[in-house]
């Protein structure tokens, strides 16, 4: 029994747990998409928190404290449904991360364009060559740093959060509040005056699917659940505190952009900097927007650099069960899975081609964002199913934290999560009305999603089917 050691390792209190979740989840990247709904953005954020953020957080915490070994979602789904589906789950988690990198780096590229050439920033934000060049150079630079063991994850993540989220978020919200307090113009109701938007027309709410991506990733932070003091009390309170702060940042940030800019006056990938510029210009401080935009670009690079090795961790855990060829999983002398990182880089480069195949950067940005969340949602459906199965099949497995309410509480929590995920999956296949003018073809949009999801599910099934016994470490050849 290792109970004494486990207790000694419980060093996280309420504040520490809440801060870990806030730093890992909060981002300004998706605010422009939600700002298009005006007041309605509040409804979508609250719905996403209730139907997605809280269920995922609670369920992942129970699974993380019950099965704390390396591997996360792979181990949880494997224990419930076997190695095949565990590998599918972790592959979906890995592959969606690869799609996430171009999305977040596009946001960083648009911020960089504004910082360097504000007069041409709108043009550069839609320049496919510029965006693809910045994404590829930034990503491969991060690969190079990580191959040398220079990720500096903790320091870089904190610096990235300060430069890319905290400072610009405070400035954005503060300027919007000042503009309203001094009687300045507000475009909030022009963007959307209804608290509950028209939910009967899917093309009007497709942008709202992106809000789930903003909340995604709690299964990663749940790994800290076993380090929490009195987890049965501290973990739900920490999640609640983090949810309040994150919701505040998201809601106030989206509303701030909607106050500053009217419909059609901002781009999805650069709306934050455009709103900052508009509001700072009122005080003759427009030049400061460039400095803030540069900080946001640096913050994005720091975030990518700190997280770039993360997607490979679950894959390496599955490799211990012989799901991947050994040559792919070898690490260099610094302990970095170099070959997987290079493979990731090649796939990210291919994903970037979507920017050249679409009419505009905005349409490509949105399509890849939706594909990312669709893959994540499939993985989360497996996560909820695994939690229900394991509560029954491994009822005696020690779990320092359990979803409150016993078995009925778990079913209600998973039911909410499944309902939210299935609803978002369905809505995601309808092209948004807000991008109608971009030239995005609805049929191509749907084909892209179907093809992307098909590849993401078929590849791990094929790899698992062709695996060889000698791939398992320690196997006799």
- Condensed to tens digits (0 to 9), the pLDDT of residues 98-116 reads 888 888 888 888 889 988 8
Residue 435, pLDDT score: 59
Task: Using pLDDT thresholds of 50, 70 and 90, give the confidence band for residue 358.
Answer: confident
> Is 29 within 8 Å of 211 (Cβ atoms)?
no
Per DSSP, the three-state class of 246 is: helix
Residue with the two structure tokens 């094929």: 462
- Condensed to tens digits (0 to 9), the pLDDT of residues 399-413 reads 888 898 999 999 999
Query: In Å, how far are 130, 224, 335, 355, 435 from 272, measured between CA atoms?
Result: 19, 32, 38, 21, 18
Average pLDDT, integer, range 6-29: 68
Average pLDDT, integer, range 368-379: 89
Task: Using pLDDT thresholds of 50, 70 and 90, give the confidence band for residue 85.
Answer: very high
pLDDT of 396 higher than 70: yes
pLDDT of 457 higher than 90: yes
Identify the residue with better confidence: 300 or 89: 89
Structure tokens at 362: 């905005």
pLDDT of 390 higher than 90: yes
Residue 12 DSSP code = B
Average pLDDT, integer, range 331-352: 84
Q: For the chain, which residues make up each domain, given as ranges?
A: 8-467
pLDDT of 434 higher than 60: no
Residue 440, pLDDT score: 65
Residue 252, pLDDT score: 93
- Condensed to tens digits (0 to 9), the pLDDT of residues 233-263 reads 777 787 788 888 888 888 999 999 999 988 8
Per DSSP, the three-state class of 193 is: coil
**Radius of gyration of the chain measured on its C-alpha atoms:** 22
Q: What does the buried/exposed string (b/e) look like for 196-222 if buried means 16 or more CB atoms within 10 Å of the residue's CB?
A: ebeeeebbbbbbbbbbbbbbbbbbbbb
CB contact set of 467 (below 8 Å; sequence gap of 6+): 322, 323, 324
* CA separation for the pair 435, 443 (Å, rounded): 14
Q: What is the model's pTM?
A: 0.82
pLDDT of 2 higher than 50: no
Residue 77, pLDDT score: 94
Q: What does the buried/exposed string (b/e) look like for 276-307 if buried means 16 or more CB atoms within 10 Å of the residue's CB?
A: bbbbbeeeeeeeebbebbbbbbbbbbbbbbbb
Residue 3, pLDDT score: 37
Output the CA torsion sign for 100, 102, 108, 114: negative
Structure tokens at 83: 């190695």
Residue 477, pLDDT score: 45
pLDDT > 70 fraction of the chain, expressed in percent and rounded: 87
Identify the residue with better confidence: 5 or 19: 19
Identify the residue with better confidence: 135 or 360: 135
CATH of domain 8-467: 1.20.1740.10
Residue 159, pLDDT score: 72
* CA separation for the pair 94, 87 (Å, rounded): 10
Residue 181, pLDDT score: 92
pLDDT of 346 higher than 80: yes
Phi, psi for residue 404 in degrees, rounded to 5 = -60, 150
Task: Using pLDDT thresholds of 50, 70 and 90, give the confidence band for residue 119.
Answer: confident
Average pLDDT, integer, range 259-279: 84
Per DSSP, the three-state class of 42 is: helix
Query: In Å, how far are 108, 135, 232, 336 from 296, measured between CA atoms?
Result: 7, 15, 37, 27
- Condensed to tens digits (0 to 9), the pLDDT of residues 39-64 reads 999 998 998 888 888 898 889 888 88
The distance of Cα 24 from the centroid of its chain, to the nearest Å, equals: 9
> Is 139 within 8 Å of 345 (Cβ atoms)?
yes
CB contact set of 139 (below 8 Å; sequence gap of 6+): 101, 102, 105, 304, 308, 345, 348, 349
pLDDT of 7 higher than 50: no
């Amino acid at each position: 029994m290792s109970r004494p050691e486990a207790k000694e390792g419980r060093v996280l209190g309420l504040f520490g747990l809440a801060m870990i979740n806030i730093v890992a989840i909060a981002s300004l990247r998706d605010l422009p998409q939600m700002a298009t709904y005006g007041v309605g953005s509040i409804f979508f954020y609250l719905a996403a928190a209730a139907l997605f953020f809280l269920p995922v957080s609670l369920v992942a915490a129970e699974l993380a404290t019950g099965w704390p070994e390396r591997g996360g979602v792979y181990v949880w789904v494997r224990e419930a449904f076997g190695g095949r589906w565990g590998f599918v789950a972790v592959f979906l988690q890995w592959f969606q991360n690869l799609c996430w990198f171009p999305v977040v780096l596009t946001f960083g590229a648009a911020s960089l364009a504004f910082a360097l050439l504000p007069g041409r920033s709108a043009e550069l934000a839609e320049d496919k060559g510029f965006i693809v060049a910045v994404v590829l150079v930034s990503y491969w630079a991060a690969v190079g740093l990580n191959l040398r063991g220079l990720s500096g994850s903790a320091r870089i993540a904190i610096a990235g959060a300060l430069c890319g989220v905290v400072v610009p978020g405070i400035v954005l919200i503060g300027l919007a509040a000042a503009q309203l307090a001094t009687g300045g113009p507000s475009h909030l109701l022009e963007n959307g005056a209804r608290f509950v938007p028209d939910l009967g027309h899917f093309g009007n709410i497709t942008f709202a699917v992106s809000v789930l991506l903003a909340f995604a990733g709690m299964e990663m932070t749940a790994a800290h659940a076993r380090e929490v003091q009195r987890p049965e009390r501290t973990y739900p309170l920490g999640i609640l505190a983090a949810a309040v702060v994150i919701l505040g940042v998201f809601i106030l940030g989206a509303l701030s952009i909607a106050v500053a800019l009217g419909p059609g006056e901002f781009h999805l990938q650069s709306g934050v900097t455009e709103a900052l510029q508009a509001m700072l210009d009122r005080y003759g401080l427009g030049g400061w927007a460039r400095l803030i935009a540069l900080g946001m670009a640096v913050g994005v690079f720091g975030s990518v650099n700190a997280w770039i090795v993360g997607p490979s961790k679950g894959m390496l855990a599955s490799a211990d069960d012989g799901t991947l060829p050994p040559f792919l999983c070898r690490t260099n002398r610094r302990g970095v899975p170099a070959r997987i990182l290079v493979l990731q880089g090649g796939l990210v480069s291919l994903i970037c081609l979507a920017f050249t195949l679409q009419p505009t950067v905005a349409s490509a940005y949105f399509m890849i964002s939706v594909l990312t969340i669709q893959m994540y949602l499939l993985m989360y459906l497996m996560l909820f199913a695994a939690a229900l199965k394991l509560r029954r099949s491994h009822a005696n497995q020690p779990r320092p934290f359990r979803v409150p309410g016993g078995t009925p509480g778990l079913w209600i929590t998973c039911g909410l999560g499944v309902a939210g995920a299935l609803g978002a999956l369905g809505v995601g296949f309808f092209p948004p009305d807000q991008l109608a003018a971009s030239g995005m073809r609805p049929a191509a949009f749907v084909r892209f999603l179907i093809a992307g999801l098909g590849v993401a599910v078929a590849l791990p099934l094929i790899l698992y089917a062709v695996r060889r016994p000698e791939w398992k470490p320690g196997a006799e050849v």
